[in-house]
Amino acid sequence: MTRMVKLKNGIDVPPLGMGTWNMGDNASLRSDEVTSLRTGLDLGLRVIDTAEMYGSGRSENVVGEAIKGRRDEVFLITKVLPSNASRDGVMKSCKTSLKRLGTDRLDLYLLHWRGNVPLEETVEAFERLLEEGVIGGWGVSNFDVNSMKELDRLSTGTSCVANQVLYSLDHRGIEFDLLGEDRKRKVVTIAYSPLGQGGGMLHNQTLADIAAEHETSLGRATPAQIALAWVLRQPSLIAIPKAGSVKHLHENSAAREISLTKENLAALDRAFTPPTSSVPLEVI
């Protein structure tokens, strides 16, 4: 049975999903992007993450086309910009996102990052959407330990179910404190860019050596699959690599078959040094 991640609101979701950053930016790629997302759903990658910021809504439009007729298969996440995070702004942004996505509900609605609007005001709007049944849960993105503690002090702040942050082998800062703190709060971590940025990390020799030791249903493992398996080993975590192509989706899906050994993990720690002190939250 595939391992699942349980959210604080009782919903179970698979630990591997699909990100959509940059989707919709090139009209000539739209058909391929829609096909990729639908392929991911076929493979059981139910979580689709998008945001009103991505392509100024174009990403949400692509997702809406991809999930048409398949809404019940999807755990749908989108994000509101901090500039739209006032009480009225959240309601307006949510309505617009729903229209682009072609649905009447979101499974998870996130504040994209901290802005100038008081957290209490944003959370009040989230709670209103929750009461109205428009969203199934709410969370945050790019929140560090201090921001999470501030959120906890709000009367309904403990209803936060997820925190989406940068996490990969070459961006391990959250391991020192944030990952454990969120776990204590039963806040699920959503790891964006789990394969790094630009592909440079994947040329690391240690990743290549470990990949040579592992097989998947597609054949010899790849460095990207090892990097993804490393992220997925964490409990209470969902990884959302970009759903870039059908080929990459199959490779990402097969990464779930890989169990890294203690020796593998030790070698990766030597190649990608874990944090030894608190560091500022990294944001890309």
CATH number, domain at 85? 3.20.20.100
Tell whether 230 is covered by a domain.
Answer: yes
Q: What is the mean pLDDT of residues 50-69?
A: 98
Tell whether 283 is covered by a domain.
Answer: no
Q: What is the mean pLDDT of residues 2-13?
A: 94
Instruction: Kindly report, residue by residue over 261-278, the tens digit of the pLDDT.
Output: 999 999 999 999 999 999
Tell whether 29 is covered by a domain.
Answer: yes
Q: Give the ranges where the chain is alpha helix by DSSP (H).
A: 30-42, 58-66, 87-101, 119-131, 145-152, 178-184, 205-211, 223-232, 246-254, 262-271
| 1 band by pLDDT with thresholds 50, 70 and 90 | very low
Residue with tokens 């454990």: 180
CB atoms within 10 A of CB 206: 17
Split into its structural domains, the chain has a count of 1
Q: At what angle do helices 223-232 and 262-271 cross, to 10 degrees?
A: 100
Tell whether 259 is covered by a domain.
Answer: yes
Does 167 qualify as catalytic in the annotation?
A: no
Sorted by sequence, the CB contacts under 8 Å of residue 281 that are 6+ apart come out as 142, 143, 144, 165, 166, 173, 174, 178
- pLDDT score recorded for residue 199: 75
Tell whether 284 is covered by a domain.
Answer: no
Instruction: Kindly report, residue by residue over 133-160, the tens digit of the pLDDT.
Output: 999 999 999 999 999 999 999 999 899 9
Report the alpha-carbon distance of residue 210 to residue 216 in Å, rounded: 13
Catalytic residue among 54, 109, 167, 192: 54
Tell whether 84 is covered by a domain.
Answer: yes
> Sign of torsion, CA 169 171 176 179?
negative
Instruction: With H, G, I as helix, E, B as strand and everything else as coil, classify residue 152.
Output: helix
Report the alpha-carbon distance of residue 48 to residue 161 in Å, rounded: 16
Instruction: Kindly report, residue by residue over 146-196, the tens digit of the pLDDT.
Output: 999 999 999 998 999 999 999 999 999 999 999 999 999 999 999 999 999
| 111 band by pLDDT with thresholds 50, 70 and 90 | very high
Domain of 96, in residue numbers: 5-271
